[in-house]
Amino acid sequence: MTEYREEVRFILALNGALIGEVTANMRAITIRRDRNELWTRFIFYRSPSEDEIEAMGCIGTEVLSNFRDESGSENYEVMPSGRIERQPNEYLVFKRKEEETP
């Protein structure tokens, strides 16, 4: 049960850090924990701007400010379309609504 509470804590921390930072280019954002490291993955429609890269750092810092014994990493990938596959133990925290293609 303790592990579940920790997962909820970092999901909520990321959710709070996203307020006012999500751009139209951000397609989805996930988070996962591996031991004492939090990994935040940003999926963009096209290459992120300098401002978006800075926002990723701000979001990561905000998340880590909630956990004193954790370290973190932010990374991104450009995926204009297609199914977003999650890694094991990865949680989807934000996903933009997209048009369905036939």
The class that CATH gives domain 2-95 is: alpha beta
User: Mind listing the pLDDT tens digit for each residue in 69-94?
Assistant: 777 777 888 888 888 888 888 999 99
User: What Å distances lie between residue 38 and 43, 97, 101, CA to CA?
Assistant: 16, 25, 33
> Which sequence spans correspond to the domains of the chain?
2-95
User: Mind listing the pLDDT tens digit for each residue in 28-54?
Assistant: 999 988 777 888 899 999 999 999 999
Sheet holding 90-95, edge to edge: 71-78, 37-44, 26-34, 90-95
Q: What type of residue is 26?
A: M
Beta-carbon count within 10 A of 72 CB: 18
The pTM of the full predicted model, rounded to 2 decimals, is 0.84
